[in-house]
Structure 1
Amino acid sequence: MKVTSLALVTLLLAALWMEAHSFSFDRKHNTCCYANNFVRKPISPQLIRSDRPTDHRCSRQAVIVVLRRGKEVCVDPSEEWFKTYKENQKNFLKKLGLSV
C-alpha cells in the first residue's frame, strides 16, 4: 500500500512540475510582462517591426512590441499612442485591400 501511495504521489508531482514548466517551454512566444518592464514613452511607428499580445495565462495583459533590431518591449495596449498606432496600421491595410 505504501509503495502504491508513494508512486501515485510521485506521478502527481511529476505531472505538476511538467505543467508548470511547459508554460515557459517556448519563451519567445509565452513571454509575460510585469509592472516594472513596461515602456512608458511612445515608440515611433518606424521602429516597430511587429507586435503580439501576451499569453492569456499572464497575470497582466499587455502587448509585446518587437522593434526593428529584434528587441522586445512591453506596452500597455490602453496607451493612447498605441491605440493610434494600431488604428493607423488597420487603415493602411484596408487601403492595400488586405483583410484586417
Structure 2
Amino acid sequence: MKFFSLALLTLLLVDLWIGSQGASFRSHYSTCCYKEMFIQQKIPAFLIRSYQKTPSHCSRKAVRVELLKGKKFCVDPEESWFQQYQRQKESPSAST
C-alpha cells in the first residue's frame, strides 16, 4: 500500500510539474534552478536516471535530477534523502 501511495504521489507531482514548469528546462537558462522549480518531496531512487549539480554561477545551490522518463526536477542538495541517495550511488558496494 505504501508503494502504491508513493507511486501515485509521484505521478501527481510529475503531472503538476509538466503543467507549470515543463518548458523552463528548454530555455538557455536551463542549467540553473530557481525557487519555483524546486520539488520538496522525496523522489524514489528507482525513478532517478541521473543527477547533476548546478554551475557555481547560479544564484541557488541545487541539483538537477532527471527521471527515467526524461522529466527534470530541482532538488536542494542538503535534503537528507538526496544525501543518502548520493552516498548510496557513490559507494563501491552500490553496484550490487
Please give the TM-score of this superposition, normalised by the length of structure 1: 0.62
**Worse-matched range after superposition: 50-59 or 27-36:** 27-36
Structure with higher Rg: it is 1
Matched, 1:57 2:28: no
- Structural RMSD (CA): 2.3
* Partner Cα distance (2:59, 2:67) in 1: 24
How far residue 32 of structure 1 moved from its aligned partner, in angstroms, is 0.6
Aligned to 2:12: none
* Partner Cα distance (1:56, 1:74) in 2: 15
Which of structures 1 and 2 has the larger relative contact order (alpha carbons within 8 angstroms, sep 6+)? 2
Post-superposition, which runs of at least 4 consecutive aligned residues in structure 1 deviate over 3 A?
Answer: 26-30
Q: Which runs of 5+ in 1 are unaligned?
A: 1-25
Q: Which runs of 5+ in 2 are unaligned?
A: 1-25
**How many equivalent pairs are there?**
70
